[in-house]
Amino acid sequence: MLKKLIGVCCILAGALAMDANASFYNPFGPQQNVSQSVITNGGWTQCYAGTMNLYIGNSAENVLSQCQGTYLMMAGRATGSDVFQLLAETTFADATFNTETGTQNTHNSNGSDWYFASNWSWGFTGAGEAVNLNQCDVSGGADKMCLHTINGAGGYRIGDNMGLNDSTSFEKVFFVSNGAVDLPEPATLAMLGLGLAGICAARRKAIK
């Protein structure tokens, strides 16, 4: 029985040591020029991708039907590129918080101001930046992304690239995460792993 406990102890110590070395991507506010490997190696899974000319539906149902998770990331890039020109992420609930059709309302979360309304638009901007939602945000700024939530219009902008409703040269991509960004800090995991390793070593000595 004691040998079995030692084995379990060692397995846990090894697993925690690996987690302590892991890097989880949890950006605050809009981010520019981020490689896809940073995202996918940081606890995120791609759930939707489509060129900007494709409609996401009157209530973004074409995206939301495929993207369900605790956290949601909206990102935009040149089609086929492995670097995203712009992205932002927050909780699923905050990214889809209803800011009401036809308004200039935004909802602040995780360093970005978000807006979402059926038959209107969905997007983000930097915290505190003005928006002009007509229907998408037509105000200037490189930290802005906007998609139409009406059938008949695609995605309007990624940063300073605007008027992309019919574009196949740019695409919107969504990622989800179910909690990797909430794991303990690597230093905490490392300390716990070292503690378990010490217990493991002590047990081995005790049964010699």
Helices (H) and strands (E) in the chain, counts: 5, 10
Amino acid at position 57, single letter = G
What average pLDDT does the chain have?
83
Confidence at residue 117, expressed as pLDDT on a 0 to 100 scale: 98
Confidence of residue 4 (pLDDT cuts 50, 70, 90): very low
Confidence at residue 106, expressed as pLDDT on a 0 to 100 scale: 98
| Reported pTM | 0.78
- Integer-rounded Cα Rg, in Å, for the chain is 22
Separation between Cα atoms, residue 125 and residue 135, nearest integer Å: 15
Tens digit of each residue's pLDDT (9 = 90 or more) over 43-85:
999 999 999 999 999 999 999 999 999 999 999 999 999 999 9
Separation between Cα atoms, residue 142 and residue 29, nearest integer Å: 12
Selection from 28, 62, 24, 71 nearest residue 172 by Cα: 62
Separation between Cα atoms, residue 44 and residue 28, nearest integer Å: 15
Confidence at residue 22, expressed as pLDDT on a 0 to 100 scale: 54
What are the CB-based long-range contacts (under 8 Å, 24+) for 22-26?
Answer: 22/183, 22/186, 23/186, 24/180, 24/181, 24/183, 25/181, 26/89, 26/181
Delimit the domains of the chain by residue range. Answer: 1-23+190-208, 25-180
